[in-house]
Amino acid sequence: MSEASAPHAADRRELTGAQRNAVAELLRVSPVADELGHRFVRAGHELHLVGGSVRDALLGRLGDDLDFCTDAHPDETLRIIKGWAESIWETGREFGTIGAQRDGLRLEITTFRAESYDQVTRNPVVVYGTNLTEDLRRRDFTINAMAVSLPEHRFTDPHGGLDDLSAKVIRTPADPHESFGDDPLRMLRAARFAAQLRFAVHPDVHAAMSRMAADLDRITAERIRDEFTKLLCGADPITGLRLLVDTGLAERFLPELTGLKLEIDEHAQHKDVYEHTLTVVENAVSFEEDGCDFILRMAALMHDVGKPATKAVGPDGRVSFHHHEVVGARLTKARMKALRYPKDITAKVTALVALHLRFYGYGRGEWTDSAVRRYVADAGDLLPRLHKLTRSDCTTRNRRKAAQLGADYDALEDRIARIAAEEDLARVRPDLDGNAIMELLGVPPGPVVGRAWKHLKEQRLEHGPLDRDAAEAELLRWARAEGLID
């Protein structure tokens, strides 16, 4: 383990485990990695497995994407791998990166870098470096600044990344102010790694994030979106979200989250909306069945963002947030648009925010079958997520109230299942289609057909399925009332 920092005595057992993980993972990929290493050495160049690949190998979770660095420039790299790689791509060539695939592994080979930044954007002025030590120092965090040289498997760790990995700490190789000044996105990456790995941020890094939060404004919305999505989909998103708020980073791109910290005064007590929201996100994660459901998590995060704008204190001192779901849906749509999320993803999250309060009141016995049909129709294919979001939103510490809410929602789901079995709720449509409407009314395609279709759908929701004769009679009644026929 040459050039590696010596492990502390208290860490020896855990570090040995990490090293065993690395050996097992590297043996899995070594046929390809070592072949590649030999090719570079024969051409008179170095090759090192670096960054997240080494970190993940030590954690026992190395995937099929491998990152390498080399002193060879892109043209030389292409010559070395030509005829050996099954496929090659050059999309990252301007930044010194050549991509390749071999035996199911995706390889990215990047020339040593020693770039500087213009301190205005995050775009580097690419300057090729000359050695591994310089390359590792420019990396974002010490846990990503370790290398395994190929093919000899020499381990290099000049910044104590192995110790930090053992201590579960996120620290920068250089001074954090210098590192974040070069690339402010690294501040958001620190929060993302905290969420993904369940690591703590070093106090010096935390302080620099707080002082330099405004520098995040230099970063494009798309890059912020991508890092934030990874954070929210992390194993522990709550840690990452708290870090964003505590350092002021959230205020730069998601101020609605910080805004949930409503003031609580002695005359108008109400639950802490911020803490409630984090609990709802945590609950939503527990309902996931197969990996991260970003739409559900984002809806849980945003479901109450309309409360600050709708907060009111009544004559009795009680706090209310009337129509906060409507305001929240509007704010959610605007924020996700600003972060450049795809329209379909934004629409689904926004719909869940708008619908999340619909269930409340069901337990009072006021819902008709018509109300249940509308609930299902309005949710559409989001219904399973709406079920999970509504259940996640129950965070009361009152056990009796929590049990009653749970029982009420159980009853609603049973009722939905019963009506669905009887009426095929998954396909709530009018009992006559457009062709039948045009034939019966003697009208061409146009707005009249659309109005008639909408009326019949309302009847379907209100009364359930109609047979053909009843549906035609209702259509004719409506058409006479509209003055369309005599």
Residue 327 pLDDT > 90: yes
- In the chain, the largest separation of any two C-alpha atoms, in whole Å, equals 95
- Residue 88 is predicted with a pLDDT of 97
- Classify residue 486: in a domain, yes or no: no
Could you give the percent of the chain with pLDDT greater than 90?
55
- Classify residue 329: in a domain, yes or no: yes
Strand partners, 49: 68, 148
Q: Are residues 282 and 408 in the same domain?
A: yes
Q: Are residues 304 and 359 in the same domain?
A: yes
Which tens digits make up the pLDDT trace of 5-56?
A: 333 333 434 555 666 677 677 777 889 999 999 999 999 999 999 999 999 9
Q: Is 317 helix (H, G, I), strand (E, B) or coil?
A: coil
Last residue in a domain, options 235, 253, 271: 253
CA 6 vs CA 19, 35, 55, 470: distances in Å = 13, 30, 17, 84
- Residue 119 is predicted with a pLDDT of 58
Using omega within 30 degrees of 0 as the cis cutoff, is the peptide bond preceding 445 cis?
no
Q: Which domain holds residue 407?
A: 254-427
Domain at 238, CATH number:
1.10.110.30
Domain at 67, CATH number:
3.30.460.10
Q: What confidence tier does 266 reach under pLDDT thresholds 50, 70, 90? A: very low
Last residue in a domain, options 130, 151, 167: 167
- Classify residue 160: in a domain, yes or no: yes
Pairwise CA distance, residues 36 & 83, whole Å: 12
Q: Per-residue DSSP letters for 254-315?
A: -HHHHHT----BTTB----HHHHHHHHHHHHHHH-SSS--HHHHHHHHHTTTTHHHH-EE-T
Q: What confidence tier does 4 reach under pLDDT thresholds 50, 70, 90? A: very low
User: pTM for this structure?
Assistant: 0.80
Could you give the percent of the chain with pLDDT greater than 70?
85
Q: If you average pLDDT over residues 261-285, what whole number do you get?
A: 75
Interstrand relation of 200-201 and 169-170 (parallel, antiparallel or unpaired): parallel
- Classify residue 414: in a domain, yes or no: yes
Q: Are residues 32 and 160 in the same domain?
A: yes
- Classify residue 215: in a domain, yes or no: yes
Contacts of 7 (CB under 8 A, 6+ apart): 15, 162, 163, 166
CA 378 vs CA 356, 358, 415, 419, 461: distances in Å = 12, 10, 16, 15, 11
Q: Which residue has the higher pLDDT, 352 or 414?
A: 352
Mean pLDDT of the chain: 85
- Classify residue 336: in a domain, yes or no: yes
- Residue 482 is predicted with a pLDDT of 79
Q: Are residues 226 and 310 in the same domain?
A: no
Q: If you average pLDDT over residues 424-450, what whole number do you get?
A: 70
- Classify residue 140: in a domain, yes or no: yes
- Residue 7 is predicted with a pLDDT of 38
Q: Are residues 161 and 301 in the same domain?
A: no
Q: If you average pLDDT over residues 310-323, what whole number do you get?
A: 78
Q: Are residues 345 and 262 in the same domain?
A: yes
Give the total number of structural domains in the chain.
4
Answer for the pair 219, 185: CB distance below 8 angstroms, yes or no.
yes
Last residue in a domain, options 196, 223, 253: 253
Q: If you average pLDDT over residues 228-236, what whole number do you get?
A: 97
Q: Are residues 4 and 143 in the same domain?
A: yes
Q: Are residues 158 and 272 in the same domain?
A: no
DSSP state of 370: H
Q: Are residues 231 and 265 in the same domain?
A: no
Contacts 24+ apart (CB under 8 A), 204-209: 204/171, 204/176, 205/170, 205/171, 205/172, 205/176, 206/243, 206/246, 206/247, 207/176, 208/176, 208/177, 208/179, 208/180, 209/176, 209/180, 209/243, 209/247, 209/248, 209/249
Q: If you average pLDDT over residues 369-394, what whole number do you get?
A: 87
Q: Are residues 239 and 358 in the same domain?
A: no
Pairwise CA distance, residues 307 & 328, whole Å: 7
Q: Are residues 422 and 443 in the same domain?
A: no
Answer for the pair 213, 247: CB distance below 8 angstroms, yes or no.
yes
Q: Are residues 236 and 302 in the same domain?
A: no
- Classify residue 477: in a domain, yes or no: yes
- Residue 410 is predicted with a pLDDT of 85
Interstrand relation of 47-50 and 65-70 (parallel, antiparallel or unpaired): antiparallel
- Residue 362 is predicted with a pLDDT of 67
Answer for the pair 215, 184: CB distance below 8 angstroms, yes or no.
yes
Residue 426 pLDDT > 70: no
